[in-house]
């Protein structure tokens, strides 16, 4: 590869960083940004190394320092989530789910999952990890009024089906799933409850969302890069069952991963310590911002789901944009104006509408991390109105969005020194 090609590559990376970190309002609900402190911890020689096996009992030499960091990370995550046992080796939340499903069920066994309308992730379904393992998906009933699992019908289903395990949590959900209400029925038939907290881990740690392990769940799984603003990766914690934890631990490696991407562990520790210190304040502001965005969007003329329930208790807001051309068109138009969102199926959409669903899923966690507060959510709603209702030229609004975003380039709720901000290079290691 020539030097010219290398320069071109860095121009592309730099352009991406400039656009996403300084010019756009990012409302993708599954994304976040690490602090500069965590980012610096992320860049190390650990990127090149292997550490298969347990700390102190590796299949490779040269693991002296990761053997210090990995148990530290496990202990921190266990403490923050109220788990007795934790493991940060999974490279994604889906890998965490895979290892757990493999241990709790066998081919032909049944698992109850939250209804798709209440946010079930693809890994919970027959189309994803559950199906790959040959475990039968049984979907719990949906209650449109509560926008959640129908508790009474779900309890009866647990008693009748006697599933090996129950999966709750998900990717598009505004209100906590009823773990406590199902835990007694699950225990009575010997079922385990797995709670996928990928989207709400940061809210749980910050005390703004119910901790499922305190309400009867046996296992929590998560991604480490959504409301928990760390490096991309996965994690799981077991409430108190040591034998189950050992079985899952031995299944993650070697069944579902070999090397576990060591460089994410130092950055995860930084983020965990930041959440220990600032997580409560951060999570509280995330939820306040989400509710304010929902209210402001309604005031601007949009249909926001969940009005009778207070719109949301999470970082997410879900809006129906059928009157604005549908989810696909709305998301593309907003991107032209430097607002990044994702189209999403709404509870009343048929599965066939996946390419052009009725709605948008919005998340405020990253913009909160950059310091936005309630009044800023009002401004974002006005941008939505200008673009999707008033039909202003998106590229003209883009400059307004960038000007607005220019006041929010420093990561808050972190150990970063005041005055340090992201710039348009890959990362400035000198400033």
Report the pLDDT value the prediction gives residue 421, as an integer from 0 to 100: 56
Q: Which residues, listed in sequence order, are joined to residue 113 by a DSSP beta bridge? A: 139, 167
Q: Are 30 and 135 in a shared domain?
A: no
Cβ atoms of residues 381 and 297 within 8 Å:
yes
- At 165, phi and psi to the nearest 5? -155, 165
Q: Does 221 map to a domain?
A: yes
Last residue of a domain, one of 272, 289, 306: 272
Query: Lowest mean pLDDT: which of 126-135, 324-333, 382-391, 422-431?
Result: 422-431
Strand order in the sheet with 316-320: 303-304, 316-320, 359-363, 342-344
- Check residue 1 and give its pLDDT: 58
Query: Rounded distance, CA 321 to CA 304, Å?
Result: 9
How far apart are alpha carbons 171 and 199 in whole angstroms?
Answer: 6
pLDDT digits (tens, 9 = 90+) for 161-205: 999 999 999 999 999 999 999 999 999 999 999 999 999 999 999
Per-residue pLDDT reduced to its tens digit, 220-236? 999 999 999 999 999 99
Regarding whether 96 and 231 lie in a shared domain, the answer is yes
User: Does residue 420 lie within any of the structural domains?
Assistant: no
> Does the pLDDT value for residue 419 go beyond 80?
no
In a domain, 61, yes or no: yes
101 and 85, same structural domain?
yes
Query: What's the Cα-to-Cα distance from 43 to each of 38, 46, 52, 234, 266, rounded to whole Å?
Result: 9, 8, 20, 18, 9
Find the domain containing 294 and state its range: 10-16+24-34+278-405
CATH number, residue 311: 3.90.1150.10
Residue 429's pLDDT band (boundaries 50, 70, 90)? Answer: very low
Give yes or no: residues 181 and 257 share one domain.
Answer: yes
**Residue 422 lies inside a defined structural domain of this protein:** no
In a domain, 425, yes or no: no
| pLDDT for 418 | 55
Question: Phi/psi of residue 236, each to 5°?
Answer: -145, 150
What's the confidence (pLDDT) of residue 417? 74
Instruction: Say yes or no: 242 and 323 in one domain.
Output: no
Percent of the chain with pLDDT over 70: 97
Residue listed under structure tokens 């385990």: 192
Q: Is pLDDT of 431 > 80?
A: no
Place of tokens 């993650």: 252
- Position 421 in a domain: no
Q: What total number of domains does the chain contain? A: 2
Of 269, 114, 271, the closest CA to residue 197 belongs to 114
- For residue 313, give both structure tokens: 């208790």
Q: Quick one: 88 and 163 in the same domain?
A: yes
Q: What is the C-alpha to C-alpha distance for residues 384 and 195, in angstroms, rounded to an integer?
A: 34
* Spatial separation of the C-alpha atoms in residues 85 and 81, rounded to whole Å: 10
In this structure, the answer to whether residues 262 and 383 fall within a common structural domain is no
Q: Are residues 316 and 381 in the same domain?
A: yes
Q: How many residues does this entry show for the chain?
A: 431
Asked if 302 and 321 count as a contact pair (C-beta separation under 8 A), the reply is yes
Dist. CA 243–CA 223, nearest whole Å = 23
As a whole number, mean pLDDT of residues 362-366 equals: 98
From the list 170, 158, 185, the residue with the least C-alpha distance to 120 is 170
Residues 340 and 242 in one domain: no
Residues 256 and 319 occupy one common structural domain: no
Strand partners, 220: 195, 237
Residue 102 lies in a domain: yes
Average pLDDT value for residue range 339-353: 94
Interval 35-78: pLDDT, tens: 999 999 999 999 999 999 999 999 999 999 999 999 999 999 99
Domain shared by 182 and 60, yes or no: yes
| Longest alpha-carbon distance in the chain | 66
Residue ending a domain, among 242, 272, 302, is 272
- Cα 126 from Cα 197, distance rounded (Å): 20
Q: What is the pLDDT of residue 267?
A: 98
Model confidence over 105-122: pLDDT tens digits?
A: 999 999 999 998 888 999
Residue 174 falls within a domain, yes or no?
A: yes
- The verdict on 262 and 340 lying in the same domain is no
At 135, which CATH number? 3.40.640.10
Confidence check: pLDDT of 249 > 90: yes
| Banded pLDDT at 424 (limits 50, 70, 90) | very low
> Long-range CB contacts (< 8 A, 24+ apart) of 285-288?
285/368, 285/373, 286/202, 286/203, 286/206, 286/208, 286/227, 286/315, 286/364, 286/365, 286/368, 287/203, 287/208, 287/312, 287/313, 287/314, 287/315, 288/373, 288/374
Query: Checking phi first, is residue 371 left (phi over 0); if not, alpha (psi -120 to 50) or beta?
Result: left
The Cα 370–Cα 383 span in angstroms is: 18
Residue 339 near residue 25 (C-beta atoms within 8 A): yes
């Amino acid at each position: 590869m020539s030097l010219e090609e290398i320069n071109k590559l860095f121009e592309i990376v730099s352009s991406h960083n400039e656009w996403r970190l300084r010019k756009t309002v990012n409302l993708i609900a599954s994304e976040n940004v690490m602090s500069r402190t965590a980012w610096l911890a992320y860049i190390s020689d650990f990127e090149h190394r292997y550490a298969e096996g347990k700390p102190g009992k590796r299949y490779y030499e040269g693991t002296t320092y990761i053997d210090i960091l990995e148990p530290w990370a496990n202990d921190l995550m266990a403490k923050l989530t109220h788990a007795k046992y934790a493991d940060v080796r999974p490279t994604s939340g889906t890998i965490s789910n895979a290892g757990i499903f493999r241990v709790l069920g066998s081919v032909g066994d049944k698992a109850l999952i939250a209804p798709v309308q209440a946010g079930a992730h693809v890994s919970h379904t027959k189309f994803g990890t559950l199906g790959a393992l040959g475990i039968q998906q049984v979907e719990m009933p949906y209650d449109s009024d509560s926008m959640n699992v129908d508790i009474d019908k779900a309890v009866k289903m647990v008693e009748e089906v006697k599933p090996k395990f129950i999966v709750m949590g998900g990717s598009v959900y505004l209100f906590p799933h009823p773990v406590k209400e199902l835990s007694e029925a699950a225990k009575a038939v010997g079922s385990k409850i797995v709670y996928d907290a990928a989207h709400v881990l940061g809210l749980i740690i910050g005390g703004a969302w119910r901790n499922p392990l305190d309400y009867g769940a046996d296992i929590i799984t998560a991604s480490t890069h959504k409301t928990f603003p760390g490096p991309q990766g996965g994690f799981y914690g077991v409430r108190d069952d040591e034998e189950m934890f050992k079985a899952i631990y031995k299944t993650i490696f070697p069944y579902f991963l070999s090397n576990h991407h060591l460089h994410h562990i130092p950055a995860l520790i930084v983020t965990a310590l930041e959440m220990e210190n600032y997580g409560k304040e951060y999570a509280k502001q995330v939820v306040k911002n989400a509710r304010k965005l929902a209210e402001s969007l309604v005031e601007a003329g949009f249909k926001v789901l969940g009005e009778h329930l207070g719109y949301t208790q999470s970082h997410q807001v879900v809006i129906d944009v059928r009157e604005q051309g549908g989810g696909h068109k709305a998301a593309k138009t907003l991107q032209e104006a430097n607002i990044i969102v994702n189209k999403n199926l709404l509870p009343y959409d048929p599965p066939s509408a996946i390419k052009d669903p009725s709605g948008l899923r919005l998340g405020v966690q990253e913009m909160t991390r950059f310091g936005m507060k309630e009044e800023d959510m009002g401004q974002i709603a006005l941008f939505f109105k200008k673009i999707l209702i008033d039909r202003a030229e998106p590229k003209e609004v883009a400059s307004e969005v960038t000007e607005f975003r220019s006041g929010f380039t420093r990561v808050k709720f972190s150990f970063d020194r005041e005055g340090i901000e992201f710039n348009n290079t890959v990362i400035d290691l000198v400033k």
